[in-house]
Each structure stands twice: as C-alpha cells, then as structure tokens.
Structure 1
Amino acid sequence: MVWDTNWEQMTIAWVNQQLIEADSVHGLHHIRRVFVNVLQIAAIEKANMDIVVPAAWLHDCILIAKDSPLRADASHLAAQLATEFLESINYPSHCIAAIAHCIHAHSFSAGIPCETLEACVVQDADRLEALGAIGLARCLMTGGAIRQRLYDPNDPFPHNRSPDDRKQVVDHFFVKLLTLADTMKTPTGHKLAKQRTDFLIGFLHQLSKEIGAEPNSLHLALKRIHRAPVNDPATFDMP
C-alpha cells in the first residue's frame, strides 16, 4: 500500500485550508466520517486503498454555495483541484486518474456513472452520511439554517400532496433520504444504508406520535415511495 501517514498528514492539512470557511455540515468533520465509511466498505469489498482513501479525503475539497450556478459542476471542479494537489505532492501518477474519477462520480446531483469498484465505494460512503443519526442531524441543521419549517402541519407526511423539500425538512426524507439505500452500488454499502434508513423511519414513527399525526398517514406516505415501515417503530430511541 502506497498511502501512509505522511500522505495523510499533507492531505488533511491542505483540505483543512481549503475548507476553512465551511459550515459544520460540509466541513472536515463530514470528510472524516466519509473516510471512516470508506475504510469499512473498502475492507469488505476489497477495493484499492491507495485510491479510495485519498479520494475520501479530497472528495469535497472545494466550497461552492448551494445556490451557485457552478453547483452542478462541484464534483468535477473538486476532481480537477484534487488532481492538481496530488500532482504537486508527487503522489503516484498511476493512481491519480482513478482518484479523480471517484471524486467526480461521488456526487448525487452530478449523476456520473461509477466505472470502477473504487468509485462505487466512495459514492456509497458519501451517501451513508445522509442516513442514520448523522444524516438526521445534518438534515435538521441544514433545514434550520435556511429557515425551513419542520413539517407541513396540515399534512406532515406527504401522502395527499407532492413532497416539497424546499419548504419542509421532513419532506426531504421522501424526496431523497429514504430512497438512497436503493442507489447503493456495493453489497456492504446497501446493507449499511438499509440499517440507517430504518433508523430514519423509526424517527418518523416517533415524530408521528409526538405531533398527533393522522393515523396511518406515515404508512401511506412511505407506501408512495415503496418503502415499508420498519418492524419495530422504536428504532429511534430517545432518552
């Protein structure tokens, strides 16, 4: 394995400088968690660590606002910037194109097909960040930051209307989060995503109880996106 602590220290220091103005949802803590996910998936799927590890650290190395006209090109621009950085530190040249592809293909919105196992691993690792406890926290933080309401009081779980995640945080579960497990490319990623999706559904069950939602409304909303309720609604266990 080529990647070692020296490469890692140089990369983390550089990424930290690139993201010095990042918010808490998209900064270095996010990248560290994706790195942990990559290690877990890659070890089981037997991916090339010399490619997936630097790709994990560098996949979000550029800051582009969500409302920027360049947002759709963020992963492409990140891949270009990462390539320049890796060349500047003399990282083995035979790995760089594959790393750049992982970074380019990881984005949900870009829709770039994964052409290698390593790209599949990095994409799965990044998408896991939108699920489970971390995914829930990030979703709520982002919604609060842009002043969205938590749910539509007239139809908290969208079963009589189309979900609109520009207005309600909970609607984002039905627009994107609860469908992510079906987009996972590796068996390990899919298994982990299913577990974390069940956690989110458990949270929705608890929310339904606490707000006194219409009986069966959550079930109907989940059915619309072909997502069955978890067997144990107590998956989301709050003290």
Structure 2
Amino acid sequence: MTLIHWQSRFENWLHETWPQDDKAHDVAHLRRVWQTAQRIMAAHDVDELVVLTACYFHDVVNLPKNHPERHLASAQAAAETRRILLTVFPDFPQEKFDAVAHAVHAHSFSAGVAAETLEAKIVQDADRLESLGAIGLARVFYVSGALGRPMFDSVDPLGRARPLNDTEWALDHFQKKLLTLPQTMQTAEGRQMAEHNASFLVTYMAKLCAELKGDFCSLDEEVLREFSAINEKY
C-alpha cells in the first residue's frame, strides 16, 4: 500500500473519530506536520511510513497547555497509537510499531524525551516548526485566547522590568520557548527553516513594540538588534 493510501486512511479515521475542538491541533495541523517532514526527510534515507504515521498520530492524545499532566500526553499518545494501529489498522506492519511509538513519544517539547532515531528527529523538527513563522504566530495567540490569557503586557510587553510569565501573557511565550526552538532542532534542514521562521517572529515583536509607541509605519530597531543577535547566537 502506498503512502498516499495510508495517509488517506489515517485522515478518514481521524475525521470520523478524533475530536478536533482544538483547532491548533486538528487534522490540518497533522497534515502540515507531514508536509514539513517530507521536506526534511527528502535528503535522508528513512522509513517514510514510520514518519507518516507518527506525524498523523502524535497528537492523538492532546492535553491542554495548562493541564497538570501535559508532560505525559506524548507517552499516552504513543500507547494509544499502538492500540489504534493494532485494532483499527490490523494490516499495518507490526514490526514498525516500536519506531512509530518512539517518534510519537519523543515529539513533545514538554516531555523532554530524547529522539533516538532519525525518523523521530524528523517528526520532532516538523512539529516544532509549527510553532514558528506565520503559522506559529497564529497558533500561539489562538491557544492563548482559548486559555483566556491576555495577548501581551501593554506597559512592559517584553518583560524588561518583570519576570517573564507565559502563563500570564501570550507574548512572553516567544522568549520563554519559541525563540529557543532553533537550537533544539535535530536536523540541518529543520534548523535552517527554524532560524528563518524565528526571525519572522522577531520582526513581529519589533513591529508590535513600535506600534505600542505610536509608530505604525516602522519597526523597533532596538528590538530587532537585540533579538536578532539572540537568534543568531542560538
């Protein structure tokens, strides 16, 4: 069976069975992760079916960002993926179960599980790229809005005179996590894309800070210099 057939079967099952109330983690997200993974793995010799399957099931157990067991979600997703493949897709090669489960378990930032296979590294990179660039910008404010968090501190948007707290302010998440993602990338292709898209977030920060000062036609050059240098250091 071709990858396209497996992809179609996975998507059909997910659309029919999997709740998609969280639009930052819906089938469209899974499809984008797979699209990005294909770009990364083009230069590598990997098991494409393992990567495809992990991309489509890595969020099959998806706990909210503020859930106390959020760090356990990927382990639960790995176990649930095994169950689904065994019961719903009995023709899926069982010798690939371990590789798929590991890639699902290791994808999570909060779980802190080391990716030990190239397939797992590619899935991890592809998923983290969803947190950067224009898509990442949209997703971070979507999730923060769903959790009832303010977009930013209008008085001190970059946390110059206060501790950063991304459970309080959405924009703080840029410094707490998003701008650090390029240094966590496992592949050269993933890192290159992450650095490019992190630069987009820095530009957004500079535009926001300029607007908060009443300048709607420029970027805050101080913000650009500071955070572009940080991004380059990573």
Paired-residue identity, %:
35
Alpha carbons of structure 1 residues 154 and 105: separation in structure 2 relative to 1, 3 Å: same
Shift of 1:228: 5.3
Aligned pair partner of 1:226 in 218, 225, 230: 230
What's the CA shift string for 1:159-207, capped at 9, x where partnerless? 3332111111111100001110110000000001011101111111111
Which segments of 5 or more consecutive residues in structure 1 lack a partner in the other structure?
230-239
Shift of 1:18: 4.1
Give the alignment's TM-score, normalised by structure 2. 0.88
Instruction: Determine whether 1:125 maps to 2:126.
Output: yes
Q: CA RMSD in A?
A: 2.3
In the alignment, which residue of structure 1 is the partner of 2:86?
87
Shift of 1:138: 0.5
The one-letter code matched in structure 2 to 1:179 is T
Shift of 1:28: 1.1
Shift of 1:23: 1.7
Which segments of 5 or more consecutive residues in structure 2 lack a partner in the other structure?
none
The one-letter code matched in structure 2 to 1:192 is M
Which segment is superposed worse, 159-168 or 33-42? 159-168
Alpha carbons of structure 1 residues 151 and 66: separation in structure 2 relative to 1, 3 Å: closer
Instruction: Determine whether 1:101 maps to 2:102.
Output: yes
CA distance in 2, matches of 1:135, 1:174: 14
Shift of 1:86: 1.6
- Is the CA contact 2:203–2:224 (under 8 Å) kept in the aligned structure 1? no
Shift of 1:52: 0.4
Alpha carbons of structure 1 residues 221 and 149: separation in structure 2 relative to 1, 3 Å: farther
Which segment is superposed worse, 16-25 or 102-111? 16-25
In the alignment, which residue of structure 1 is the partner of 2:46?
47
The one-letter code matched in structure 2 to 1:38 is A
The one-letter code matched in structure 1 to 2:230 is H
In the alignment, which residue of structure 2 is the partner of 1:211?
212
In the alignment, which residue of structure 1 is the partner of 2:200?
199
In the alignment, which residue of structure 1 is the partner of 2:60?
61
In the alignment, which residue of structure 1 is the partner of 2:186?
185
CA distance in 2, matches of 1:190, 1:135: 15
Between Structure 1 and Structure 2, how many residues are aligned?
227
Q: Alignment partner of 1:192: what SS?
A: helix
In the alignment, which residue of structure 2 is the partner of 1:76?
75
- Is the CA contact 1:157–1:221 (under 8 Å) kept in the aligned structure 2? no
- Is the CA contact 1:3–1:49 (under 8 Å) kept in the aligned structure 2? no
Give the alignment's TM-score, normalised by structure 1. 0.86
Shift of 1:125: 0.3
In the alignment, which residue of structure 2 is the partner of 1:233?
none
CA distance in 1, matches of 2:201, 2:64: 27
Alpha carbons of structure 1 residues 163 and 222: separation in structure 2 relative to 1, 3 Å: farther
CA distance in 2, matches of 1:178, 1:126: 15
